[in-house]
Amino acid sequence: MKAVVVTAPGGPDVLRVQEVEDPEIKDDEVLIKVEATALNRADTFQRKGVYPPLPGSSQYLGLECSGTIEAVGKHVSRWKVGDQVCALLGGGGYAEKVAVPAGQVLPVPPGISLKDAASFPEVACTVWSTVFMMSRLSSGETLLIHGGSSGIGTFAIQIAKYQGARVLITAGSEEKEETGGKGVDVILDSVGQAYFRQNLDSLGIDGRLFVLGTLSGSVTEIDLRVVHSKRLTIQAAGLRSRSPENKAVIVREVEDNVWPAIVAGKVKAVVYKHFPLSEAAEAHQLMESSQHIGKILLFP
């Protein structure tokens, strides 16, 4: 099959389409013929060599895909050959075929094209597992999202509104005025160091900060009295390093809680641009320029 290979750690031009071995499935996996894959910021870090693939995962880039099931392992009962699906991957989406544990596979939501379905698994699983499963954002609460134009941000805005939350997408400290001095309940932040102090100041009593990434740096100082006096919770987590069993739990929660919102038209695919697999380098350049709003797709 054809796959995008990181020929050496470096800039986007190290990405080349090459002929590689087809993946082999284990008994609890399915083989997907990829219709589309989507970029994630983590792919650019993996390309640079600072975020290596986990042992046992595909060495190729790509944390999500959509496509058609081509083979099923002998312990797989839910899926059959020919099913149109999308999936959360540990890697390997930038290819014509990918093997994935059956528990990480989702049906294509009715009303969504097979290609656009590739835009959902990573953002839906990330946002649901953090904002809702860990930070317990509830109806009537206020969520502040930094980087509202990102793939993560454009999805988080929609699902949080669907769940009845008030959503703010400002940076800095103005959000405090926006809440009449009460502060926000949950913050979803990928910026890290540069926003950390303002984040703590912007949270209200019992506020929760979720750190998804550290785009501006990762080292900071913290005045524990602020955490103490407002009973704050600071959490951080990565999706890619979770076990297949853990990912399967998240994927089923996403199917139960997010898929109905997509089917109802309340959460839409936000696709900025698509490229053929052979132009993966151009797609990475676009992501690193931060000009995009939403997701960037690749079509094998």
State the residues that interact with ligand NAP by CB under 6 A: 40-42, 122, 126, 147, 149-153, 190-191, 212-213, 215-216, 237-239, 287, 290
Tell me the DSSP string of 134-165: IS---TT-EEEESSTTSHHHHHHHHHHHHTT-
Question: Closest distance between ligand NAP and the C-beta of residue 48, in Å?
Answer: 13
Helix (H, G, I), strand (E, B) or coil at 231: coil
Residue 29 Cα distances to 105, 121, 248, angstroms: 9, 17, 12
Cβ 149 to ligand NAP, closest distance in Å? Answer: 5
Q: For residues 110 and 53, what is the distance between their CA atoms, to the nearest angstrom?
A: 32
Q: How many CB atoms lie within 10 A of CB 55?
A: 5
Q: Is 64 left (phi over 0), alpha (psi -120 to 50) or beta?
A: beta
- Of 251, 277, 238, 248, whose CA–CA distance to 61 is shortest? 277
Nearer to ligand NAP (CB atom), residue 90 or residue 153: 153
Considering the complex, what minimum distance in angstroms separates the CB of residue 169 from ligand NAP?
10
Cα 44 to chain centroid distance, Å, stands at 14
Amino acid at 146: H
> 10 Å Cβ neighbour count for 8?
10
Q: Name which of 97 and 284 has its Cβ closer to ligand NAP.
A: 284
Report the nearest approach of ligand NAP to the CB of residue 27 (Å): 28
CA dihedral 187, 193, 194, 196 (to 10 degrees): 40
Q: Is 164 or 238 the residue whose CB approaches ligand NAP more closely?
A: 238
Closest contact distance (angstroms) between CB of 70 and ligand NAP is 27
281 vs 287, beta carbon nearer ligand NAP: 287
Name the minimum Å distance from CB 39 to ligand NAP. Answer: 7
Nearest to 115 by CA among 256, 263, 275: 275
Which C-beta is closer to ligand NAP: that of 90 or that of 204? 90
Q: Which is nearer to ligand NAP, 191 or 251 (CB)?
A: 191
Is the CB of 72 or the CB of 251 nearer to ligand NAP? 251
Torsion of CA 55, 8, 280, 272, to 10 degrees: 70
- Determine the Cα–Cα distance for residues 133 and 251; give it in Å rounded to an integer: 12
Instruction: Name the nearest CA neighbour of 88 among 256, 249, 237.
Output: 249
Find, among 53, 78, 48, the residue nearest to 63 by Cα.
53
Q: How far is the CB of 216 from ligand NAP (least distance, A)?
A: 4
* Residue 87 or 152 having the CB closest to ligand NAP: 152
Closest approach of Cβ 129 to ligand NAP, in Å?
8
